[in-house]
Structure 1
């Protein structure tokens, strides 16, 4: 596999939003950002409006009490003029009601009208839109609409509920109503000290509405800026997700087509979120896939090469049988045919075993395996049922349960059996094959030592390759396929273990094969 497939560098330019935030939190942050600002703006504007309304009502109530406090010192005929003077040109309308309900004074009767109720039908589209926004805002905040303000046809004390309440309680009473154009009409009724009179102050406070709408406009600008920022962050987030995914999809498509041996799958090493994890997983998967493909191609080529030799020998022997009449020579050729058939059968069996090993290990459910007991059974089988020649096998069985691993017992047995077969085949006459199994830290170590010629240092890695065969002198040609150690290596690696070969420990020549497997946890 090309080196750039697993490169730690990315060919993608930096997006600008990096850090340790996962994609999930980034999406939540972008979605919540605008909502939080919108909610905060609504809450602020609602609080601002309520506070401003309370201030305006409190100010009107104070004006009414101040005006009522001056009335007892003024003659009845001069009270209307005094109220008009106190109201001014843009103040509230001040009216005075007697105990019999009649209106006895009115600031507008001697002075100019300080406000006028405007007809919404005569106003432009801008005012209509503003009123629609007002209604929408009230609906969002859940504020109930106020009662409409209507001047009574007969203006007396009973026409105003706040006047009736103020006369009955002796305290100031306020009220808020809506003018026809949606602006508020504030009113405050207060008793006149020492007299059975009630003063009513009313004002159509358009400045209150303008202040609220102005503040709402400022918040709308702020929300507009927030929306732009949200769009920017959304675009940035889209780039952090979509662009890497697009590159990964293109790389995966190229891997699927297999048209190039060098496919750059970006690993995005700077990304610590789900996209970075996905990129590195896809890169590793691509590397593993390419390695598997290369291994499969090499294995197929090796199989073809290994099958050609016995097939060529077999074809030559069969062709020669037709032209030879000598019975002795024919017998020799038939022996060659038999040996080649046996060799082919053994080779095909070993090839099938090697091809199935990885796939079957991936599907196998591992179970606790006592390596001491397993190795002991294999040694006994070699001594009782197999040809060991003049070799001797020595095995010191460890205490039961001390060398437990998790794995597939039958596959592990095959790996150890291949090592025993290799050691016995290389052992000289009366040679000793020593087998040990012991716990070393968090590992279980299995060693097989022989007294053969050993393995040259230059070949200590290649002997685990498929079809690599370094056979002892005198062994029948084709007795071994060169797959035994390769199968053992694949089985051990499938159990997350390691296998290696070194010179025999102690005096004399020989090889020492060592398998290290993870010990079963808790044992």
Structure 2
């Protein structure tokens, strides 16, 4: 019988279309990152997380709008207070206005001044001894206040906040824009100033609600230092949160990059060693402790390298076997040709010519089988499988064989259940080649008048085909060996060189490409003979 060697198989169920290169290009374009194709994964991960932190840092700019709303509220409050003070002052005799202004200024935390119709100051709570509005000298403050002012200025510049005018003290009322507005138009006017320490100062002026002599303007001044303190406190809290989150984000980014980048680099180095081929046994790390996509990739690459190594070993062994098998007929052919030049006897020359003819036929048969075996895997990987009825195929093969005549009176019998579907996915011509080879082997090993029994059944989702003969059988030690390439156990009396020793090897290659298996066993009934069993998945179990 003819043996073969086991080798890795591709999935015969899928087909590679003629546009495989174009689809590969489309996949490459779909997975490409134009803007970051040359950037390592570590800075990419850091950039994504830092970008999210930058969005969080936008809270600093929100604080500017928060401060503006507080200032607007204090301006409105100052306008109301100026109007109320003006109405309160005109409701008391003129000699009691100074005491009332002092008491109101103390309660409101403001400096109150009253100017007459010519702009001369009449009442000033500071001159009355109340110094509740005192500007801070920035040169006498510590470094923390200086840093806070620098941060205020920087954020105001980035956000584009309008810069309030610097506050300057004036003695005459006509030098205050609020007083001029309140005197010229009977409305309350207010202005926001900037103190030397960058805290807001709010002035508000309201005309006294009287006509004729004695009409004047009252002005309030407050230093809303608490607004700046509130904004700076919130900014400090946000900065602490941002700092903690930034440190945690960077550390987590580095950890994530380490868990992703380092294994990928390790796998890439192993792949390069496999490609270079300098190390015969390159071990691709399988990363069994990882159950994520990188672990799947590592195990897939490891399996791929093992399969590649097995394929290379098989190719090398196949080349060595081909060389060995071709040496014998070539040596015989060379000896016969050399003998023909020296032998003069026509009978001997005819014998030598017959030897030459047999050796040439043997070489031709051997080269044909070798060529088919070498390209079988590639052809099967490109084949589109179709549903094949193994029962109908076996019946047709038996009918064709019997029509041609079976030598030595050997009989063929097919045992099958017609009510069971025997449909498998595959290529009909290749499966037919397997069955023909097994039938021919059974015929050649059967005795005169022997019976060859073929059966096809279903075992759950698997089609089982068995071929039994009544020949000498396959020794138990050789049941795996017969499937190796160039291993041949032929019947006694058969001429040497009639078979290449690749038939069963090709059969196993075809069956395994169909996700099936083929084995040689003893007959189930214990009688003499060989039994070959093929198991293939059914169409609905694919």
TM-score bucket of the superposed structures, by smaller chain? 0.7 to 0.9
Tell me how far apart the structure 2 counterparts of residues 501 and 118 of structure 1 sit (CA, whole Å).
Answer: 103
Superposed displacement of residue 90, structure 1: 10
The equivalent of 1:81 in structure 2 is 99
Contact 2:450 2:469 in 1 (8 A): yes
* CA deviation profile, 1:203-232 (whole Å, cap 9, x unmatched): 122342134224323433442343333332
Partner secondary structure for residue 452 of structure 1: coil
* CA deviation profile, 1:13-59 (whole Å, cap 9, x unmatched): xxxxxxxxxx9x9779845652464356665x468747865886798
Tell me how far apart the structure 1 counterparts of residues 320 and 137 of structure 2 sit (CA, whole Å).
Answer: 96
The equivalent of 1:335 in structure 2 is 354
Alignment of 1:375-386 (within 5 A): 375-385=394-404
Tell me how far apart the structure 1 counterparts of residues 408 and 193 of structure 2 sit (CA, whole Å).
Answer: 114
The equivalent of 1:185 in structure 2 is 201
Tell me how far apart the structure 2 counterparts of residues 127 and 46 of structure 1 sit (CA, whole Å).
Answer: 14
Among 177, 181, 205, which residue is 1:159 paired with?
Answer: 181
Partner secondary structure for residue 456 of structure 2: strand
Among 430, 435, 458, which residue is 1:439 paired with?
Answer: 458
Contact 1:317 1:336 in 2 (8 A): yes
Superposed displacement of residue 402, structure 1: 1.8
* CA deviation profile, 1:162-181 (whole Å, cap 9, x unmatched): x9667xxxxxx9x6734265
Among 366, 376, 388, which residue is 1:369 paired with?
Answer: 388
Contact 2:186 2:207 in 1 (8 A): no
Among 112, 134, 153, which residue is 2:155 paired with?
Answer: 134
- Equivalent pairs counted in the alignment come to 489
Partner secondary structure for residue 261 of structure 1: coil
Partner secondary structure for residue 501 of structure 1: strand
Tell me how far apart the structure 2 counterparts of residues 437 and 27 of structure 1 sit (CA, whole Å).
Answer: 63
Superposed displacement of residue 382, structure 1: 2.3
Query: 1:80–1:419: structure 2 CA closer, same or farther, 3 Å change rule?
Result: farther
Query: 1:180–1:51: structure 2 CA closer, same or farther, 3 Å change rule?
Result: closer
Tell me how far apart the structure 2 counterparts of residues 191 and 325 of structure 1 sit (CA, whole Å).
Answer: 148
Alignment of 1:288-367 (within 5 A): 288-367=307-386
Tell me how far apart the structure 1 counterparts of residues 322 and 405 of structure 2 sit (CA, whole Å).
Answer: 28
Partner secondary structure for residue 175 of structure 2: coil
Is 2:527 aligned against 1:508? Answer: yes
* CA deviation profile, 1:382-409 (whole Å, cap 9, x unmatched): 2234754432212246549922121222
Query: 1:357–1:113: structure 2 CA closer, same or farther, 3 Å change rule?
Result: same
Tell me how far apart the structure 2 counterparts of residues 199 and 285 of structure 1 sit (CA, whole Å).
Answer: 91
Tell me how far apart the structure 2 counterparts of residues 38 and 313 of structure 1 sit (CA, whole Å).
Answer: 88
Is 2:475 aligned against 1:453? Answer: no
Among 260, 263, 266, which residue is 2:285 paired with?
Answer: 266
Tell me how far apart the structure 1 counterparts of residues 492 and 179 of structure 2 sit (CA, whole Å).
Answer: 131
Alignment of 1:35-50 (within 5 A): 35=54, 37-39=56-58, 45=63, 49=67
Partner secondary structure for residue 428 of structure 1: coil
Superposed displacement of residue 133, structure 1: 2.5
Superposed displacement of residue 476, structure 1: 1.4
Tell me how far apart the structure 2 counterparts of residues 160 and 98 of structure 1 sit (CA, whole Å).
Answer: 12
Superposed displacement of residue 433, structure 1: 1.5
Superposed displacement of residue 155, structure 1: 6.6
Tell me how far apart the structure 2 counterparts of residues 452 and 97 of structure 1 sit (CA, whole Å).
Answer: 133
Query: 1:128–1:37: structure 2 CA closer, same or farther, 3 Å change rule?
Result: closer
The equivalent of 1:230 in structure 2 is 249
The equivalent of 2:6 in structure 1 is none
Superposed displacement of residue 291, structure 1: 0.6
Superposed displacement of residue 507, structure 1: 5.2
The equivalent of 1:10 in structure 2 is none
Query: 1:127–1:224: structure 2 CA closer, same or farther, 3 Å change rule?
Result: closer
Tell me how far apart the structure 1 counterparts of residues 49 and 256 of structure 2 sit (CA, whole Å).
Answer: 8
Superposed displacement of residue 283, structure 1: 1.3
Structure 1 window deviating more from structure 2 (175-184 vs 509-518): it is 175-184
Is 2:112 aligned against 1:94? Answer: yes
Partner secondary structure for residue 521 of structure 1: helix
Superposed displacement of residue 300, structure 1: 0.6
Contact 1:30 1:233 in 2 (8 A): no
The equivalent of 2:513 in structure 1 is 494
Contact 2:430 2:510 in 1 (8 A): yes
* CA deviation profile, 1:310-346 (whole Å, cap 9, x unmatched): 2222222222223333333332222222222221111
Contact 2:386 2:427 in 1 (8 A): yes
| TM-score, normalising length: structure 2 | 0.75
Query: 1:30–1:103: structure 2 CA closer, same or farther, 3 Å change rule?
Result: same
* CA deviation profile, 1:256-312 (whole Å, cap 9, x unmatched): 122222112111222233332222222111111111000000111111111112222
Contact 1:190 1:198 in 2 (8 A): yes
Partner secondary structure for residue 425 of structure 2: strand
Partner secondary structure for residue 322 of structure 1: helix
Give the RMSD, CA atoms, in angstroms.
4.4
Contact 2:410 2:446 in 1 (8 A): yes
Contact 1:81 1:111 in 2 (8 A): no
Contact 1:103 1:155 in 2 (8 A): no
The equivalent of 1:468 in structure 2 is 487
* CA deviation profile, 1:414-444 (whole Å, cap 9, x unmatched): 1222211221221111111122223332122
Contact 2:56 2:242 in 1 (8 A): yes
Tell me how far apart the structure 1 counterparts of residues 223 and 92 of structure 2 sit (CA, whole Å).
Answer: 28
Tell me how far apart the structure 1 counterparts of residues 186 and 137 of structure 2 sit (CA, whole Å).
Answer: 29
